[in-house]
Structure 1
Amino acid sequence: MKIMHIADLHIGRTINQHPLLADQSYMLDQLIKEVDHQQIELVIIAGDIYDRTLPSKEAVQLFESFIHQLNIERKLPVLAVSGNHDGASRLGYGKEWFRTHQFYLSTAIEDCFKPVTLKEIDFYLLPYIEPAEAKIYFNDDTIQTHKESYEKIVEEINAQKNSGRKSVIVSHLFIQGGQESDSERPLSMGAVEFVPQSVFKGFDYVALGHLHHPFAIQSDTIFYSGSLLKYSFSEASQPKGYRLVTIDEGVKSIFMPLKPLRDLQVIEGDYAAMIDNHQSIESEHYYQFILHNMRHIKDPMTRLKAVYPNLLELRYAEDSKADKEIKVEVDERSDIEIIEQFAMNMTDEPLTHNQQQIIARLLKEVQHETY
Structure 2
Amino acid sequence: MRFLHTADWHIGKKLNGYDLLADQKYILEQILQVAKDKQVDALVIAGDLYDRSVPAVDAVELFNQTIVEMNLNNQLPILAISGNHDSGVRLEAGSPWFAQTKFHLHTRLAQAFVPVEMADVQFYLLPYFEPFEARLYFEEDLKTIKAAMQRVVEEMKKSFDPMKKQVLISHFFVAGSSRTDSEIQIEVGGLDGVPADLLTDFSYVALGHLHNKDALQEKNSQYSGAPLKFSVSEANQQKGVFLVDTETGTREFIPLTPLHELKVITASFQELLDPEYYQQMDREAFLHVVLTDRMIIPNMMNQLRTIYPRILSVERSAGVVEKRKIEKFKKRFNSPQQLIGDFFKEIASAQLTETQEEWIAKGLQAVTNREKSEQTCSQEN
Judge same fold: TM > 0.5, yes or no.
yes
Secondary structure, in 3 states, of the residue corresponding to 1:296? coil
- Equivalent position of 1:290 in the other structure: 290
State the AA in 2 paired with 1:64.
N
- Equivalent position of 1:268 in the other structure: 266
In the TM superposition, 1:196-211 aligns within 5 A as: 196-211=195-210
State the AA in 2 paired with 1:252.
T
In the TM superposition, 1:337-352 aligns within 5 A as: 338-339=339-340, 350=347
Q: Is 2:227–2:256's contact at 8 Å kept on the other side of the alignment?
A: no
Q: 1:333 to 1:11 in 2, by over 3 A?
A: closer
| 1:365, distance to aligned residue in structure 2 (A) | 8.3
Among 243, 248, 251, the residue aligned to 2:249 = 251
* 1:98-134 Cα distance to aligned partner (Å, 9 max, x none): 1111111111111000101111311110001111211
- Equivalent position of 1:138 in the other structure: 138
State the AA in 2 paired with 1:39.
Q
Q: Does 1:212 align with 2:222?
A: no
- Equivalent position of 2:189 in the other structure: 190
Q: 1:188 to 1:177 in 2, by over 3 A?
A: closer
Q: Is 1:47–1:82's contact at 8 Å kept on the other side of the alignment?
A: yes
Secondary structure, in 3 states, of the residue corresponding to 2:158? helix
Which shows bigger deviation, 83-92 or 186-195?
186-195
Q: Is 1:214–1:255's contact at 8 Å kept on the other side of the alignment?
A: no
In the TM superposition, 1:1-371 aligns within 5 A as: 1-141=1-141, 143-248=142-247, 250-277=248-275, 278=277, 280-332=280-332, 338-339=339-340, 350=347, 358-361=355-358
For residues 290 and 355 of structure 2, the distance between their equivalents in structure 1, rounded to whole angstroms, comes to: 43
For residues 18 and 176 of structure 2, the distance between their equivalents in structure 1, rounded to whole angstroms, comes to: 32
Q: Is 2:341–2:352's contact at 8 Å kept on the other side of the alignment?
A: no
Q: Is 1:146–1:192's contact at 8 Å kept on the other side of the alignment?
A: no
| 1:366, distance to aligned residue in structure 2 (A) | 11
Q: 1:106 to 1:362 in 2, by over 3 A?
A: farther
For residues 227 and 366 of structure 1, the distance between their equivalents in structure 2, rounded to whole angstroms, comes to: 34
State the AA in 1 paired with 2:339.
I
For residues 352 and 95 of structure 1, the distance between their equivalents in structure 2, rounded to whole angstroms, comes to: 60
Q: Is 2:182–2:230's contact at 8 Å kept on the other side of the alignment?
A: yes
| 1:188, distance to aligned residue in structure 2 (A) | 2.8
| 1:190, distance to aligned residue in structure 2 (A) | 2.5
Secondary structure, in 3 states, of the residue corresponding to 1:171? strand
For residues 85 and 351 of structure 1, the distance between their equivalents in structure 2, rounded to whole angstroms, comes to: 43
Q: Report the RMSD for the aligned CA atoms in angstroms.
A: 2.5
Secondary structure, in 3 states, of the residue corresponding to 1:66? helix
Q: 1:359 to 1:51 in 2, by over 3 A?
A: farther
| 1:254, distance to aligned residue in structure 2 (A) | 0.7
| 1:358, distance to aligned residue in structure 2 (A) | 4.8
Which stretches of structure 1, 4 residues or more, deviate above 6 A after TM superposition? Answer: 340-344, 351-356, 363-367
Q: 1:170 to 1:305 in 2, by over 3 A?
A: same
Q: Is 2:81–2:125's contact at 8 Å kept on the other side of the alignment?
A: yes
Structure 2: segments with no counterpart, 5+ residues = 365-381
For residues 128 and 53 of structure 2, the distance between their equivalents in structure 1, rounded to whole angstroms, comes to: 13
For residues 299 and 359 of structure 1, the distance between their equivalents in structure 2, rounded to whole angstroms, comes to: 54
For residues 360 and 135 of structure 1, the distance between their equivalents in structure 2, rounded to whole angstroms, comes to: 27
* 1:182-234 Cα distance to aligned partner (Å, 9 max, x none): 11111132323311111111211111111111122122211111101000010
For residues 329 and 255 of structure 1, the distance between their equivalents in structure 2, rounded to whole angstroms, comes to: 32
Q: 1:50 to 1:351 in 2, by over 3 A?
A: farther
Q: 1:94 to 1:192 in 2, by over 3 A?
A: farther
Secondary structure, in 3 states, of the residue corresponding to 1:100? helix
For residues 331 and 2 of structure 1, the distance between their equivalents in structure 2, rounded to whole angstroms, comes to: 38
Q: 1:233 to 1:105 in 2, by over 3 A?
A: same
Q: 1:256 to 1:362 in 2, by over 3 A?
A: farther
Q: 1:124 to 1:333 in 2, by over 3 A?
A: closer
State the AA in 2 paired with 1:227.
A
For residues 33 and 174 of structure 1, the distance between their equivalents in structure 2, rounded to whole angstroms, comes to: 30
For residues 168 and 330 of structure 1, the distance between their equivalents in structure 2, rounded to whole angstroms, comes to: 34
